Structure 1
């Protein structure tokens, strides 16, 4: 049985991944169900204007497990395992939904989020994943698909969360990574996080399969959020056992739980390549190739680059926090050929640089003084 949750973040501290740990603990210990495969953290379109935090949908599958059992976390002092396979039996979806409703209501922030919960034996068509990760999806389209596959669902507010639920459930993980998320005790939510920077550096440089943990050039720790959410840190990589080793290395304040999620982070599934000109519209992410026309830096440290492309002139933006992009752009010269990957914003209309590839450079000539004979 698939269980999906989305848009349950709260300014009071809750996040959808934390809700997932509550659901998992309840259904395993109070309903005698097993977790089938790791829970899935599915990042959807990062260019959605109304997204909450990382625009991540959570998908879990429950049943009676069989086959290989993998240790993936610890909640309230109890180990969490996932199974590779399941018996030919499905739990009652109405019962599952009724158990989840109070958990959603407990953390609901009506001024900030519009939660959705979907419970289904069947998975939506895969096309909904690619719609959800690349485009703005209309609710009516989603409702029609949910009715087709026969789900039960729960909505609060405008019910926008069912869109993310559906698109997340539709993901078939052909390309994937993992993220180990650790959580703080509730009494610590909203307070300053305490952690040892050196231990993060050691974990990053010891665990070769990890990524986006530490920035060598700036010395910035990239795994610890700045929001009041329950997360202590998120350690990303390509191997579950490696992430658990890293978790043992990283030193922080006491944690209440931790769990490994299967994710689509780092896959670039959200990027649209070879987009027809008429479909090059804001609120999506694209790959754009072009010739550099000019580069300028404005007050505040933001850098803008204009390129000539098949979509006409496109302004590409690297804002102050993205220091490495700004320094790379400073070295570019009119005539250089580049590929820019990023999100197209509506106002000001610009491509917010996520990745930059320099494809070709032009020769530069500099006049020097005549030699002394």
Structure 2
């Protein structure tokens, strides 16, 4: 039986993943967890999301095959099985167990949606959910088609995310080990050793987005009042377990490993016929000009097949902004990012510098070919003339300028990356230059 839930968190605290552990705490006493619990990030450009726009999906039944430890809740180990028998729990029984948990834990301003189903929705629903904005009516039609049961609170908008998360069939995936604080410490300052996180990042090659080596900053500890202590992301479950032992933090009350679509770039649309705001695209174009605006942000205009587009690189992306300072008119780039509606900007997540144009700078006024003297300017835009020989020239002496930019991929520091954005580390790519405090 598949169970999916969304929209239970708030900017004030709580989080959907913590609710997933509460559901597991109840249901795992009566039935088995089949496969890892799933944390599915959906369209990051949705205007009304609280934080990471995540939904949760789990499968319960009677397990068979390999048994794998996936977490611990209040000292009780949680396992998952690689497959299930034909036995299916009753929908009403699961709803009776889960709804009180949701009522107790959801935030008052959340619009929770819960779906329980023997069948998964069509996988196309996931791709629509991660790349577009769906109407609730379209999702409800699919819920009815598969014969699923649902529960809603508030306006029930969470039904959309729950259905899209349940529909996910991974083409690519990663893992995240999330640890949770005792409830008495929620909202207080987190206590941890940054150097232990640096050590985990250095000795566990499959982990990502936990430590920013360039600026020596932690990227895996949230700053919100939510229950999470930290989230360690990677591709190897054994390395995540090692990381939990390496990282020194305040005591944790529970932990859980989730299968996720984080770091997959699933949200990026390629080759779109038109650009619609509140979606994320890969767009190529030719640089026109860049400018700085208040707040430390950089805006860059580029000409594309869709017309002129403004690319935004904002202050939280830190040294990533310097890339745009070093681009010049005529350079060609590809940009991955969210198209904001107002102001209409393509907010850069990653940039591929495709071509760097040659630039020339003036060395001196031209030299007279007759007498060897340096010519004099006869006025702005009017050229040059030799006072002695009266010969003329239109342009000065130039030489090829040194460009502090190279072709290749560039990305923001780890703390400024989106959950879904695939780190260059995972592609085996390194930026040809790193702009750290303008040291290149």
TM-score bracket for the superposition, by shorter chain length:
over 0.9
TM-score by length of 1: 0.96
Residue 229 of structure 1 is matched in structure 2 by 226
Task: Please give the alpha-carbon distance, in whole angstroms, between the structure 2 residues aligned to 1:240 and 1:304.
Answer: 40
Whether the 8 Å contact between 2:179 and 2:230 is mirrored in structure 1 is: yes
Note the 1:274-353 alignment, pairs <5 A.
274-277=271-274, 280-353=275-348
Select the structure with the greater relative contact order (CA < 8 A; seq sep ≥ 6): 1
Q: How does 1:57-72 map to 2 (within 5 A)?
A: 57-72=55-70
Alignment partner of 2:187 out of 186, 190, 193: 190
2:128 and 2:350 mapped to 1: Cα distance? 22
In the TM superposition, structure 1's runs of 4+ consecutive aligned residues that sit over 4 Å from their partners are none
Alpha-carbon RMSD? 1.3
C-alpha displacement of 1:366: 2.0
Deviation of residue 324 (structure 1)?
2.9
Deviation at 1:185, TM superposition (A): 0.3
Q: Contact between 2:125 and 2:167, CA under 8 Å: does it hold in 1?
A: yes
**Quick check: 2:2–2:119 contact (8 Å CA) kept in 1?**
yes
Mapped partners of 1:324, 1:246: distance in 2: 28
Q: Are 1:44 and 2:37 an aligned pair?
A: no
**Mapped partners of 2:71, 2:149: distance in 1:** 28
Paired residue for 1:55, among 49, 53, 56?
Answer: 53
3-state SS of paired residue (1:51): coil
Q: Secondary structure at the match of 2:309?
A: strand
State the 1:109 CA deviation.
2.1
* Alpha-carbon separation, structure 2, partners of 1:116 and 1:46: 18
Select 1:107's aligned residue among 105, 108, 127.
105
Kindly name which structure, 1 or 2, has the bigger radius of gyration based on alpha carbons. Answer: 2
Deviation at 1:218, TM superposition (A): 1.7
- Give the secondary structure class of the aligned counterpart of 2:362: coil
Aligned pair partner of 2:126 in 129, 136, 140: 129
CA displacement at 1:10 relative to structure 2 = 2.9
Partner of 1:114, secondary structure, is coil
Instruction: Answer yes or no: is the 8 Å Cα contact 1:10–1:107 preserved in 2.
Output: no
Preserved contact between residue 11 and residue 51 of structure 2 (Cα < 8 Å): no
Q: Distance in 2 between matches of 1:272 and 1:324?
A: 26
Query: Gapped runs of 5+ residues in structure 1?
Result: none
Q: Secondary structure at the match of 1:49?
A: coil
CA contact (8 A) 1:214 1:220 kept: yes
SS at match of 1:366: strand
Q: Distance in 2 between matches of 1:54 and 1:249?
A: 26
Q: Secondary structure at the match of 1:210?
A: coil
What are the Cα deviations for residues 114-158 of structure 1, in whole angstroms up to 9, with x where unaligned? 001100010000010000000000000011100110111110011
How many angstroms does 1:11 deviate by? 4.1
Q: SS of the residue aligned with 2:361? A: coil
1:239-278 Cα deviation digits (max 9, x unpaired): 111111111111100100111000001111100000002x
Alignment of 1:168-179 (within 5 A): 168-179=165-176
Aligned residues: 367
In terms of mean alpha carbon deviation, does 325-334 or 339-348 score higher? 325-334
Report the CA distance between 1:108 and its aligned residue: 2.2
Q: Which runs of 5+ in 2 are unaligned?
A: 368-440
In structure 1, C-alpha distance between the alignment counterparts of 2:10 and 2:314, rounded to whole Å:
27
| Matched position secondary structure for 2:248 | coil
